Amino acid sequence: MDNLSFASAHALATAIRERELSAVELVRASLARIEAVNPRLNAFVVLCPERALADAEAIDRRLAAGEDVGPLAGLPLGVKDLEHVAGLPTSFGSVPYRDYRPTADSIEVARLKAAGAIVIGKTNTPEFGYTALTKNLVFGVTRNPWNLERTPGGSSGGSSAAIASGMVPLATASDGGGSIRIPACYVGAFGLKPSFGRVPVEARGPGTPMSAWIDTVCYGPLTRTVRDGALFLDAVAGPDPADPDSLPAPPVSYSAVLADLPPGLPIALSKTLGYAMVQDDVWREVEAAAAAFRELGHRVDFIDDELAGSGGLEPLPDLGVEWALVSASETYAAIGEDIEANRDKFGRAFLEGMEHGKKIGPDFMARAQRKRALLHARLTDLFARYALLLTPTLPTEAFPASGPFPTEINGVPIESALGAVAFTYPFNFSGHPAASVRAGLTDAGLPAGMQIVGPRHRDELVLQAAYAYEQARPWNDRWPTL
């Protein structure tokens, strides 16, 4: 293969299984690429080269003996530093936990390894995945390979930078309010937030594990192609007794049905969801990307006039503030004692969020949950009429690597505190599957993303739509060269 750094994961795995490429060769190529470009990007923060090469040698021996080594045979894997790999530190991007070493893999990592993937190291994340840019006091700032002055997003920013710069073909990611789709959008990759519960998420964190109560966090793929994402999801989806919210095994292989998008679908297109703003050149690219579905024979209806009150649909409620405060309250509940004992070791912005979160009481929770019920009702109405919903993934292109977040769009101030990520968090609160695909490039040459949202539990339909779009408008031949 000519360029191992940017070859698709499925092509690399096939080459290894057919012994056209050795796992050791691929791991060495990945480590060499990391050595060459990671100093400028700071995507990987922990590496385990000796262990990875030993695992690759074992894969090659098993292949030589005629064994089945799994669908991810020999693929180098980056693991987000919120997720456990036995024997490697999980710092959560937080100084008090920089030496925390779990003794077991997370469920997702264990499944990826069982499918043949080889852990290369850990990728950077903001403190406890708290924000949409990636920097922390332990490892510093992660940068976007399209423009080193910009962020690759967060909280899976280390993973997205590693994917877009060709360091690894696979990386784990998690999404509590957009943390897969935001970084996928900002680096022009594919990212899927599956249905809530599709991939098990066990009680996690330092100290005494605590079960989550806000049911918004999902694990999912962040890859260079849609087929790679389907391959990843096939390896990790399915129930586990450690996660009482995990869904039954999917009835199909996502990879096997990828090309089976039903014909003539009714598809909704929204620029605002009834409350958001979007940068002009981002919308230009998204609107052009949505046209691909018309060219494929589907009906695409622009629904914003209806959302404004002239039809049967109503605008979605904006739950940005509610999402931020409810998430902060849960994080504070989990590690509040450590925060109070080590306040000088946590980041300022993280502490500020925790201060808001610890004040949340039953009255606020009741208002938030009533607003959430309204979101469910309005999405039920929308998906009764449409098979899919298309939106911008994000209102803007990537902003500066260390911040601040955008405060205006097209010269108009952003009123909502979460307005810079206005399109992602509704679908964490609702549980619907949602993906980001590359729509095009802005005037500044930075990726813009289109979000594809599907009905509840229809992960395969979102993947099929993303794949059909990718075939019509390929993007995998253009990546930043650094």
Which active-site residues does the annotation give? 80, 155, 179
Compute the Cα dihedral for 404, 410, 412, 417 and give only its sign.
negative
Residue 369 region, left (φ>0) first, then alpha (ψ -120 to 50), else beta?
alpha
Q: Determine the Cα–Cα distance for residues 117 and 472; give it in Å rounded to an integer.
A: 30
C-alpha distances in Å from residue 91, one per residue of 94, 137, 202, 254, 275: 6, 11, 17, 33, 36
Instruction: Give the three-state DSSP class for 122.
Output: strand
Contact (CB, 8 A) for 212 and 330: yes
Q: Which residues on adjacent β-strands are paired with residue 392?
A: 450
C-alpha distances in Å from residue 223, one per residue of 94, 165, 186, 229, 421: 26, 11, 13, 6, 21
Contact (CB, 8 A) for 293 and 267: yes
Q: Determine the Cα–Cα distance for residues 186 and 174; give it in Å rounded to an integer.
A: 16
Q: Give the tokens for residue 479.
A: 């990546």
Instruction: Give the three-state DSSP class for 186.
Output: helix
The total of other beta-carbon atoms located within 10 Å of residue 94's CB is: 27
DSSP 200-235: -----SSSS----SS---EEEEEESSHHHHHHHHHH
DSSP label at 308? I
The packing angle between helices 459-472 and 226-236, to 10°, is: 160
C-alpha distances in Å from residue 142, one per residue of 41, 131, 135, 224: 6, 13, 6, 19
C-alpha distances in Å from residue 291, one per residue of 66, 287, 369: 47, 6, 36
Contact (CB, 8 A) for 423 and 390: no
Rounded to 10 degrees, the C-alpha dihedral 84/56/142/11 comes to -110
Rounded to 10 degrees, the C-alpha dihedral 323/329/331/336 comes to 160
Strand boundaries in 112-240, DSSP class E = 118-123, 135-136, 140-141, 170-175, 190-193, 218-223
Amino acid at 419: G
